Amino acid sequence: MLRLQDKVAIVTGGGRGIGKVSAKRFAQEGAKIALVDFDVALGRAAADELVDLTEVIFLEVDVSQRNQARQMVQEVVDHFGRVDVLLNNAGVLRDAQLLKMSEADFDVVISVNLKGAFNCGQAVAEFMVEQGQGRIINVSSVVGLYGNFGQTNYVASKAGIVGMTKVWARELGRKGITVNAVAPGFIDTEMVRSIPGTLVEEMVKKVPLRRMGTPEEVANVYVFLASDEASYVNGTVISVDGGVVT
């Protein structure tokens, strides 16, 4: 039996990387997909890859814009009739050391990664409360748990995701909605492949399993949290990092 049969799942940042793989895994488990991305070309291409698996729609959205996030959720409900799962995956990087980081780069990362998750989470929560059930999965990061050189903005956004998740779990749990976070570690994505090889080697040395993770390994955890198997998992942060944070 498919674990997400006929569930309606919103995947933000679904045009590439872990988001794209996660949307496919959700579809393989029977979910109908609303694939959301700011990049139209990537988003449409990713959605087109799912049409043979499930019913899918693509929505161009800047999640940092409150009105766009709310309109997106309304369009999903209008199209599918409900929304069961939100994967708050959209995120950006603008790395720099503290003394070199611009205000603009700080603001955009907080706006997309943290405020964007808030915008989408608040919008779907209204519908999920009416339904009496739902799953919200927020994407943090291993660096949100222990920090990282040159990532003041990114780490702040991902640490904020952890705190926000715990608040939502307390507020929404009594409404039948679970809220959890996942903190991926060093995952083999396009972004990581752009890093010089020597730096990647140093990253891998920090992992007890001595390898990077795959997007599929992260997506499998998202599937679990979205499914009925995780019905009593609420307010937790699951690290998918090969043991970096123990």
**pLDDT over 90 at 203, yes or no:** no
**pLDDT over 90 at 191, yes or no:** no
Residue 124: the pLDDT is 98
Q: Look at residue 176 and tell me if it is in a domain.
A: yes
* Cα distance between residue 243 and residue 152, in whole Å: 23
pLDDT band, residue 105 (cuts 50/70/90):
very high
Question: Average pLDDT in the 211-240 region?
Answer: 98
Q: Each residue of 174-184: b (16+ CB within 10 Å) or e? A: eeebbbbbbbb
Residue percentage of the chain with pLDDT more than 70? 100
Q: Look at residue 129 and tell me if it is in a domain.
A: yes
- Reply yes or no on whether 154 is catalytic: yes
pTM over 0.85: yes
Q: Look at residue 133 and tell me if it is in a domain.
A: yes
Q: What are phi and psi of 52, to 5 degrees?
A: -80, -10
pLDDT band, residue 25 (cuts 50/70/90):
very high
The pLDDT tens digits of the residues spanning 136-161 come to 999 999 999 999 899 999 999 999 99
**Closest residue by Cα to residue 53 from 2, 122, 105, 111:** 2
**pLDDT over 80 at 193, yes or no:** no
Q: Look at residue 19 and tell me if it is in a domain.
A: yes
- Choose between 189 and 182: higher pLDDT: 182
- Looking at the 3D structure of the chain, how many domains does it have? 1
Q: Look at residue 85 and tell me if it is in a domain.
A: yes
Q: Look at residue 244 and tell me if it is in a domain.
A: no
List the catalytic residue out of 146, 154, 222, 232: 154
**Cα four-point dihedral sign 137, 43, 188, 90:** negative
**Closest residue by Cα to residue 99 from 33, 39, 152:** 152
- Phi-psi sector, 53: left (phi>0), alpha (psi -120 to 50), beta: alpha
Residue numbers of the domain that contains 17: 8-238
Residue type, position 121, single letter: G
